[in-house]
Structure 1
Amino acid sequence: MNKNRLEAFSDGVIAILITIMVLEFKVPDGNNFETIQPLLPKLLAYVLSFIYLGIYWNNHHHLFHAVKRINGKIMWANLHVLFWLSLIPFVTAWAGENNFASFPMIMYGLILFCNAIAYYTLQTIIIKHLGKKSDLALALGSDIKGKGSLVLYALGIGFANYYPIVSGSIYILVTLIWLAPDKRIERIFMEE
């Protein structure tokens, strides 16, 4: 099957998720810093989640650049990723509205962890589809970056109960690790 509909659908879902997150903001009554100050935690959560969605969109684009045709397993694995991404607006609003309290930060980290597992699963299914000797399999190698992110998310979840600020810092660290598009894939496919 052709991959174009899957890519277009995924792009649309991610665009809608970003839109949903920004619609959580209500215009403050007033025109000074004091009126916007209560929104700062929500704004910070929004910026972090916007970057996360952008990272997934960017890496999804890179991943599917390596794929010419898809099958049903890839379609379901992609829906699995989109399901977990669709929960980001909820945990973003929850964490922001509660000033990054422990339990919302645990749930934020859990959703990020599940997103990473779902993306890793999609990657694995695509590699099986393309073959273990495919350019994509060779580019990703042992995927230390992906597996390391899972460890960091688990640490962030563990710290959230006692030190939510440390937890948030770990989530930001993972964002910084993934901020640049996955160069492993770009190196292989830039010639095309």
Structure 2
Amino acid sequence: MKLSVSRLEGFSDGLIAIIITLMVLEIPLPKTITTAELLNFGKSILIFLASFIIVGTQWNRHYHLLDKVDTVSRSFVWKNLIFLCILSLIPLFMKWVLLFPNEVVPALGYAVVYILCDFVLRLLFRSILKENKDNIKFSKNRKTKSSFLRTIIAFDFLIAIIGFSILFPEFSIICFIILPVISSLFNLFIPEKNME
């Protein structure tokens, strides 16, 4: 049974707006106007901006995912809910990073949530193509191979950072935050071309 995509889009857009709102509300205001407090506040703003870019990029990709279809299956709706569930964890892990800015585990959790979110969204792309192969203009190009290669490189880079974090924990925290932002910006400026 096929369902209208408009209700799915409305629900998804509303939930993503709430996720972004929660992220900004998690930024702690400085208690005093000292250099240390202002630096911590600046760090919190940078982590929020990184999270905003990630969520915004995922929303953009989600929009393009549903742009060319009118109906979706019930199975796709559940897969979409799993994607939104993982995406909604970003504010939680952002708060964890803000509470423990010098610890590796919160930053690693933040990166893992991002990678899971990206992975599930890629599965959604495959699912929508499979369900609507007759209704979508399908282009076979090298994009699928390059997308897979990008995913493999990102995982290899993450494993290298985890190994390096044992020696230099401060470096790994920066990478766990920067890697998802760079990957999100890369996806933003080079969108999925599985659908035209």
TM-score by length of 2: 0.82
SS in 2 for 1:105: helix
Select 2:178's aligned residue among 141, 144, 169: 169
- 1:43 positional shift: 1.6
Q: Is the CA contact (8 Å cut-off) linking 2:23 and 2:91 kept in structure 1?
A: yes
What per-residue deviation string (whole Å, max 9, x for no partner) do you get for residues 83-127 of structure 1? 100100011111232225211121111101110121111111111
What per-residue deviation string (whole Å, max 9, x for no partner) do you get for residues 57-92 of structure 1? 111111101111111011011101101001000111
- 1:136 positional shift: 4.8
Select 2:189's aligned residue among 165, 180, 184: 180
Runs (4 or more) in structure 1 with deviation over 6 Å come to none
Unaligned runs of at least 5 residues, structure 1: none
Q: CA 1:6–1:157 in structure 2 vs 1: closer, same or farther (change >3 Å)?
A: farther
What residue in structure 1 maps to residue 115 of structure 2?
113
Query: Cα RMSD (Å) of the superposition?
Result: 2.7
- 1:20 counterpart letter in structure 2: L
2:87 equivalent to 1:85: yes
- 1:52 positional shift: 0.6
- 1:55 positional shift: 0.4
TM-score by length of 1: 0.83
What residue in structure 2 maps to residue 50 of structure 1?
52
1:183 and 1:38 mapped to 2: Cα distance? 36
1:107 and 1:88 mapped to 2: Cα distance? 9
Unaligned runs of at least 5 residues, structure 2: none
2:9 equivalent to 1:7: yes
What is the aligned residue count? 187
Q: CA 1:181–1:4 in structure 2 vs 1: closer, same or farther (change >3 Å)?
A: farther
Q: CA 1:95–1:143 in structure 2 vs 1: closer, same or farther (change >3 Å)?
A: farther
2:22 equivalent to 1:26: no
SS in 2 for 1:70: strand
What per-residue deviation string (whole Å, max 9, x for no partner) do you get for residues 15-50 of structure 1? 000111111123323456554222222222111011
- 2:17 counterpart letter in structure 1: A
Q: Is the CA contact (8 Å cut-off) linking 1:62 and 1:185 kept in structure 2?
A: no
